[in-house]
Amino acid sequence: MITKRLARWFDDRLGASTFARSALNKVFPDHWSFMLGEIAMYCFVILVLTGTYLAFFFSTGTPEVVYHGSYLPLRGVHMSEAYASVVKISFDVRAGLVMRQTHHWAANVFVAAIVVHLCRIFFTGAFRRPREINWTIGVTMLLLGIFNGFSGYSMPDDLLSGTGLRIAYSVALSIPFAGTWLAFLAFGGEFPSDQIVHRLFILHVFIVPALLAALIGAHLALIWHQKHTQFPGKGRTETNVVGSRLYPTYAMKSIGLFAAIAAVLGGMGGLFQINPIWLYGPFQPSSVLSPAQPDWYLGWLEGALRVFPNWEFRAGGFAVPNPFFPAVLLPGVTFGLLYAWPFLEARLTGDRLAHNLLDRPSDHPVRTAFGAMALAFYALLLFAGSNDLIARLAKVSVGAVTWTFRILVVTVPFVVFFVVHRLMRGAQRAGPVRFLEIPLAAFVRGNREKLSGVAGEKALQEPEPEPPVTEELERAPGDRFERPG
Amino acid sequence: MSTATRRLGVLLAAAAAGMAGFVALGGLHGSGSAQAQTATPTPTALPSSTPTAGPGRGLYLRDCAYCHGARGEGSVSGPALAGVGAASADFMLSTGRMPIPKPEDQPQRKPPVYTPQEIRELVAFVAALGPGPPIPAVDAASGDLGQGAELYEENCASCHGSVGAGGALTSGLLAPDLSTSTPVQIAEAIRLGGAGTRTGKMPKFGPDLLNDHEVDSIVRYATYLERPNDRGGQNLGHLGPIPEGFVAWMVGLLALVLVTRWIGTSR
Amino acid sequence: MDGRAPRAGPGDPVDRDEPVSQAGRRSQRERRGRPGAVNASFVLSAAASAGLTVLYALGGQPQLEGALILVALGAMAVGLILWERRFLPQGPYVQAREPLPSTPLERKAFAEDFEVGAEAIGRRTFIARLFGLALGALGVAAILPIRSLGPSPGRSLFVTEWRRGSRVVKANNQPVKVADLNVGSVVTVFPEGHPGSADSQTVLIRVDPSRFTPVPGREDWSPAGNVAYSKVCTHAGCPVGLYEQQTGRLFCPCHQSVFDAMDGAKPLSGPATRPLPQLALEVDPEGFLRARHDFTEPVGPGFWNEGHVS
């Protein structure tokens, strides 16, 4: 009764009944792998909620204070206001530590979810026309997520993150021509400046979340407008969408997922300790601790800095110092490739058709193998970032571990490419069979051999013509199958 | 052969040899010493005059003289002990670093072979071999915890880790974990440098660098680190972002992907 | 397929009497489901939330808070998902996917309208060019405030706080005498008056002179075996905090560069390419250690114009 009156009240002012009806009935494919992006989105929501709460207590001040809170080992110790405020949140604000830890766990899971989602998009070819714009938005959000994670854990001004800021400053310095200016303008002078925590705060709390919110909005709007992709299957064609309707089913799935994400992140926030800055101590420019690593999503950069050999260019008094190559050039190439990929692939394969049906990974062995190779490369770099810990636990020298990783990083990715390519070609050959049931012979036969049989014809065919819609699939109410003109 | 069996063999052999030695009362070398498992140290000449007698002397001559010399003059296998002082002897024996199976290895903390009484006797003997630093007098309770935290962060955290869990050095050596160290042992290591060994890498912090109160404070903080405040929950080994990243993927993301598999379809 | 007339197109009024398909009615009837688990989930969730309230009132405890959040929200999630699976229409439903690109007619209409406007503006090319000029100039002016974000690098990277005769002090501002360190000792030092200075941080070690090889020309830089190097790693700037006194190595924990303190702090392994700059020391009449002059090269990691002091 009330809802009817409420609906009437809004409709009188907005006239949105038709739109609302089509929205409620909109069909979304509900394969589980299509929800990975939602994990990231809901992590963002939790980040904003917990982050807002933390922002009420955090201070960006760098002037030194003497700590007098309830964590005894730091009583009487000199530290920045920023650090003191985070210790206060952790010990003297009720529920503060859980909020803080939930925030940090959410940040780590956020970027992890984006990466997994990116892999799903990549390996199923969902970035192809007409979705290149969404891919571009997605890669940008990955970049922003990484930046916000780094700025977030650098704000407490503790010894571990301060060391990371020093490295970031040095990386900026290493950029040819403009490096010194970039570092001095960004930080406000020589390292450590008294400005950096405050500047990171503004970026972390205002600029980047606003950009992310806008980009998420655009990302969702594009999915809405272009409609989600789907795997090929019974009744699914390039010109329809099969799945569940937004209301009530998909909405409830999504809200249930949100509750699950909040549960897992909140649970981790209380049960697993993360970033115990009170044990690291306040940042001092002349102190350092070991082991020293950044959060996982920067681990590949850290590993690159460690295993890249001591090469640098110097001529005529000018230098391109060592950190430039692993920490500026490598990520530049990485993200350049990521942004360019849809266009690169379209050019290389000559496929400029629009696609609404997804690939199975075996449909494009080269793409799949290349993606696997890239994952192997970055994963190896990530593990190389913990070479000192590996050395300690395995009781071998750090130098030996470093050299091992150097060799692995330049050899394993190629091996992975070869192996995955073979596997995918074998899967293609075997046709629509479960992967684990494919006979080994299918993988072993050389790549040169022309694909034969059903699988071969299938791989060479154009997309199937649209089959008639069957009775088993219900049409969403209000659906329109014909368009005028 | 297992460590336990080996130790039993050592004790039995030591008891037999020690009895013979005591009876003879004259500088007989122990032939069944445990250290001779793998190394074949150069035997030292019979001394013409022996150091001051004492209960530790017998133990020393039986177990230590093989590598360190009957008068503590050292040999190819072990450094000279004359002048290392009670502090070094106490550190080495109470942390179990000595006796060491292979002289060329980095001395590692192990359960001590000797009883506290035997250690005291050996220490007294070694101290008498030549003037050296005494066992430091430590009063952790009078140390300042906050000052200890600051000094630990400045001087110790880079090698031993923020929570004293230890860390990797070059060439496969390790700065050890501090969680089982007593206050006296920590103070000894700080004052000795190289932790008193030939291959030791730890720097030496004399009284002009860290006065006794500062050492007390560091000891107090290091003792606190044996049970640090883990208010946030499971401490993941205090290893920082590495296990945290692992947990984010293997606990957080994995759980959520399983949830999506439950919610969504598989076809 | 089911005998209905073609549906209304976009913009057409909806026929209010249009029948819902039989299939649709069938699916929209509530499905038979078992509500027990769903009910229990929500009850559990409520109980956990109540527990959280009580816990908060009692002062809170992080692990309990985490566990109760997990239960409260987790049970909520389970309840919602079970509710959805057991009681809500599952479909699968199908919907048309209209071609995305506009029709040629639509595109033509858009292009024509756009052209009309553009032409109206563009006919006055001189005005348009002047506008472009003004906009460009404004753009340049608008980014000027960025310059206020920080000082010019100038000579900052080439100098530290060390001066001729600066007394060597520890972090607590206590001066260091030539005999304070034992062989094998290490301490972080700063110029007097600037304890804690980031670019001036220096590692002072006392070495056994018989194992130390001074760099040619620097024989008098290390009185009585007191050697001082910049503590800022020449790779990426971390403090080179680990000193292995027996091998005389300085080890940086960030990317594992190793420097030989017995031989001019030359890099032995790891990504560092340049030795740590050495600070020239002397002893004053009272026995205190002082710097002869600032470092003779920039400390810390490299940068583009490091060979050209501006």
Please report the pLDDT score of residue B10 as a whole number.
Answer: 58
For chain A, the structural domain boundaries read 30-314
C272/A contact by beta carbon, under 8 A: yes
Calpha distance A62→C159 (Å, rounded): 24
Q: Tokens 């606990």, residue?
A: B251
Q: How far is C129 from chain A (nearest CA, A)?
A: 32
Between A94-103, A421-430, C249-258, the lowest mean confidence (pLDDT) is in A421-430
- B95-128 tens-digit pLDDT: 888 888 887 777 888 898 889 999 999 999 888 8
B39: in domain:
yes
Q: Tokens 């114009």, residue?
A: C305
Q: How far is A248 from chain C (nearest CA, A)?
A: 7
H/E stretch holding A66 reads: strand A64-66
∠ CA C16-C20-C24, rounded to 5°: 150
Question: Per-residue b/e over C9-46, b at no fewer than 16 CB within 10 Å?
Answer: eeeeeeeeeeeebeebeebeeeeeeeeeebeebbebbe
For residues B16 and B118, membership in a common domain is answered with: yes
For residues B119 and B148, membership in a common domain is answered with: no
Task: Tell me the C-alpha to C-alpha distance, in Å, between residue B222 and each of B144, B145, B150.
Answer: 12, 9, 11
Position A267 confidence tier, pLDDT thresholds 50, 70, 90: very high
Calpha distance B67→B43 (Å, rounded): 8
Amino acid at B261: R
Pairwise CB contact (< 8 Å): A267 & C91:
no
Instruction: State which fold the A30-314 domain adopts.
Output: Cytochrome Bc1 Complex; Chain C (1.20.810)
Closest CA to B161 of A78, A283, A285, A388: A388
Sheet hosting strand A240-245, strand order edge to edge: A27-28, A240-245, C93-96, A474-475
Q: Among all residues of chain A, which has the CA nearest to that of C66?
A: A270
For residues B20 and B87, membership in a common domain is answered with: yes
Position A168 confidence tier, pLDDT thresholds 50, 70, 90: very high
Pick the more confident residue, A225 or B100.
A225
Q: Could you tell me if residue B120 is left (phi over 0), alpha (psi between -120 and 50 degrees) or otherwise beta?
A: alpha
B:C CB pairs within 8 Å: 74
Six token digits for residue B13: 């052999």
- B120-175 tens-digit pLDDT: 999 998 888 888 888 999 999 999 999 999 999 999 999 999 999 888 888 778 88
Question: Which CATH number does the domain housing residue B151 bear?
Answer: 1.10.760.10
Pairwise CB contact (< 8 Å): A475 & C93:
yes
Calpha distance A95→A180 (Å, rounded): 42
- B191-228 tens-digit pLDDT: 987 755 656 789 989 998 999 999 999 999 999 999 99
Amino acid at C87: F
Calpha distance A346→A333 (Å, rounded): 19
Calpha distance B98→B128 (Å, rounded): 18
Pairwise CB contact (< 8 Å): B158 & A288:
yes
Calpha distance C65→A97 (Å, rounded): 10
> Contacts of residue A105 in chain C, CB cutoff 8 Å?
none
- A277-328 tens-digit pLDDT: 999 999 999 999 989 999 999 999 999 999 999 999 999 989 999 999 999 9
B265: in domain:
no
Calpha distance A236→A463 (Å, rounded): 12
Please report the pLDDT score of residue B246 as a whole number.
Answer: 96
Q: How far is A66 from chain B (nearest CA, A)?
A: 11
Six token digits for residue A156: 């407490």
A:C CB pairs within 8 Å: 326
Calpha distance A440→C238 (Å, rounded): 52
Q: Among all residues of chain C, which has the CA nearest to that of A31?
A: C92
Six token digits for residue A241: 């969408």
> Mean pLDDT over residues A316-344, rounded?
96
B236: in domain:
no
For residues B122 and B147, membership in a common domain is answered with: no
A105/B contact by beta carbon, under 8 A: yes
A17/C contact by beta carbon, under 8 A: no
B162: in domain:
yes
Residue among B263, B266, B267 with most chain A CBs within 10 A, to mutate: B263
For residues B121 and B217, membership in a common domain is answered with: no
Please report the pLDDT score of residue A445 as a whole number.
Answer: 59
Calpha distance A45→A51 (Å, rounded): 10
> Contacts of residue B157 in chain A, CB cutoff 8 Å?
159, 281, 287-290
Residue among B217, B236, B260 with most chain A CBs within 10 A, to mutate: B260
Q: Report which DSSP code applies to A249.
A: I
Please report the pLDDT score of residue A277 as a whole number.
Answer: 96
- A358-388 tens-digit pLDDT: 999 989 999 999 999 999 999 999 999 999 9
Residue B265: beta bridge partners? A31
Count Cβ atoms below 10 Å from residue A259 Cβ, excluding itself: 23
Is residue A226's pLDDT more than 90? Answer: yes
A291/B contact by beta carbon, under 8 A: yes
Please report the pLDDT score of residue A389 as a whole number.
Answer: 92
Contact partners for chain A, using 3 or more CB pairs closer than 8 A, are B, C
For residues B82 and B198, membership in a common domain is answered with: no
For chain C, the structural domain boundaries read 22-87, 105-149, 158-310
- B28-48 tens-digit pLDDT: 333 333 333 333 333 344 344
Closest CA to C87 of C151, C6, C32: C32
pLDDT tens for the 310 residues of chain C, in order: 343 334 433 333 443 333 334 344 444 445 567 889 999 999 999 999 999 999 999 999 999 999 999 999 999 999 999 999 999 888 788 888 888 999 999 999 999 999 998 888 877 788 888 999 999 999 999 999 999 999 999 999 999 999 999 999 999 999 999 999 988 899 999 999 999 999 999 999 999 999 999 999 999 999 999 999 999 999 999 999 899 988 899 999 999 999 999 999 999 999 999 999 999 999 999 999 999 999 999 999 999 999 888 6
- B69-105 tens-digit pLDDT: 888 888 888 888 888 888 888 998 998 888 888 877 7
- Name the pTM for this structure: 0.88
Q: What is the ipTM of this complex?
A: 0.89
- A120-139 tens-digit pLDDT: 999 999 999 999 999 999 99
H/E stretch holding A27 reads: strand A27-28
Amino acid at A395: K
B161: in domain:
yes
| Number of domains into which chain B is organized | 2
Cβ neighbours for A372, distance < 8 A, ≥ 6 positions apart:
A416, A417, A420
For residues B26 and B57, membership in a common domain is answered with: yes
Question: Which CATH number does the domain housing residue B82 bear?
Answer: 1.10.760
Q: Tokens 């290893």, residue?
A: B239
Q: Report which DSSP code applies to A230.
A: B
Across the interface, which of B169, B231, B262 has its CB nearest the CB of C81? B262
User: Which residue range is the domain that position B65 belongs to?
Assistant: 3-129
Pairwise CB contact (< 8 Å): A262 & C8:
no
Six token digits for residue C64: 């309990």
Beta carbons of C85 and C98 less than 8 angstroms apart:
no
Calpha distance B238→A269 (Å, rounded): 16
Instruction: State which fold the C158-310 domain adopts.
Output: Rieske Iron-sulfur Protein (2.102.10)
C70/A contact by beta carbon, under 8 A: yes
B189/C contact by beta carbon, under 8 A: no
For residues B35 and B119, membership in a common domain is answered with: yes
In chain A, the percentage of residues whose pLDDT exceeds 90 is 78
Position B16 confidence tier, pLDDT thresholds 50, 70, 90: low
> Contacts of residue C180 in chain B, CB cutoff 8 Å?
206, 208-209
